[in-house]
């Protein structure tokens, strides 16, 4: 006496296991590609410097050497911070809470 239904269940479990392994491998491959592409995109963005033109528009500073633009970028950031910070009006409620 042979159990045909047992063989079908056994082959079904093998197929489900195979499909599960293939699915997990595909998910891992897609995740790996996504992480790799996001890091390469972030690295490409680090190579660019954006400069504010009078605090109004954003321009891409094109330069061969990034070290030339760093001091200018830092000065503009500090200048913009001081401009925004020191033009704030005092908030009486916030002062009284302290």
Give the closest residue to 80 by CA, choosing from 48, 58, 47. Answer: 58
The pTM is what? 0.49
Say if residue 55 is in the same domain as residue 39.
no
Residue 59, in any domain of the structure: yes
Residue 94, in any domain of the structure: no
* Span 36-91, pLDDT tens digits: 999 999 988 877 766 666 655 566 565 556 666 678 778 888 888 888 888 877 77
* Span 16-40, pLDDT tens digits: 999 999 999 999 999 999 999 999 9
CB-CB contact of 51 with 73 (8 Å): yes
Tokens 């490409």 locate to: 44
The Cα–Cα gap between 43 and 50 comes to 15
Say if residue 63 is in the same domain as residue 84.
yes
Residues linked to residue 50 through DSSP beta bridges, in sequence order: 60
Enclosing domain of residue 80: 49-89
The Cα–Cα gap between 82 and 84 comes to 5
């Amino acid at each position: 006496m042979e159990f045909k239904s047992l063989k079908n269940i056994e082959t079904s479990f093998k197929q489900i296991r195979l499909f599960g392994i293939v699915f997990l491998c595909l998910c891992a491959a897609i995740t790996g590609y996504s992480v790799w592409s996001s890091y390469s995109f972030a690295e490409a963005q680090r190579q660019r410097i954006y400069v504010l033109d009078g605090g109004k528009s954003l321009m891409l500073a094109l330069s061969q050497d990034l070290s030339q633009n760093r001091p200018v970028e830092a000065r503009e950031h500090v200048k913009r911070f001081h401009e925004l910070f020191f033009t704030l009006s005092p908030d009486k409620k916030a002062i009284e809470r302290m």
